Homo-oligomer: A and B are copies of this chain.
Amino acid sequence: MQRYFISDNNWTKEQVHIDGEDRHHIVNVMRMTSGDKIICCNVDGSSYLVEITEITDDKVTGALVEALDEKQEMPVKVTIVQGLPKGDKLELIVQKGTELGMFAFIPVQMDRSIVKWDSKKESKKLSRLRKISKEAAEQSHRSKLPLIHEKHTLKEVLSENTYDHLFVASELEAKAPSEDGSFAEALKQISPGDNLLVVIGPEGGLSNDEISFLTSNQFKSIRLGPRILRTETAPLYVLSAISFYFEEWR
């Protein structure tokens, strides 16, 4: 069934109002009419079976038929902190990360990021990333949209630190594994409901300054298998492994 994420102020106790691109999609793409059913998700993560009751030029109105008890959200909240990569890799990471259950995403201009975002470019990029994430969330049947944050510095990420576990994906661990770098051991320390932060460097990896900063702030290096993963592959490995461990294994 078609799924739409509707912002919080479009809901009443018994109805939901759908406007803008979602209205267009329902009316012109899906060609739905009164009586058709859809799923609507609120930003708070609740989702409802909705029956369309009225279609006007402005909006689609639907009646809340039933609150759904969905289980598509990861039991742990994974925030990916990604050093800005080249080209359209960020779009790939956000799309796949959304499918794979990512809770939030923070782009960081790192020392070795070749791409630079000025404020004009940033606002354009962010609205594109949020659109990609929304579409991926609808397609993958999520009930919650990932938060796509504005560009941060690493220091800003840490100053807003509300995380239970801090990890950094390490190329060094892949090349010369240490006992400390076990991703499996790291996951064993995590309980459902915990907040995780995972930092991933850009193409050239993290700089020595960045590594020092993270390790002095109690980040734990983790190994993502013995091969060297590209910057855009690392977050997909992290999220797949966490999904496997918390959603399939336990």
Contact = CB atoms under 8 A, between A and B. Distances in A.
B72 A226 contact: yes
Interface stretch (A44-52, A104-112, A160-168, A234-242): A234-242
A228 interface: yes
A237 B243 contact: yes
Interface residues of A, number: 35
A184 B233 CA distance: 22
Nearest to A136: B230
Interface string A160-196: 0000000000000011000000111000000000000
A140 interface: yes
Contact of A233 (B99, B174, B244): B99
A184 B247 CA distance: 10
Contacts of A233: 96, 99-100, 236
A223 B247 CA distance: 10
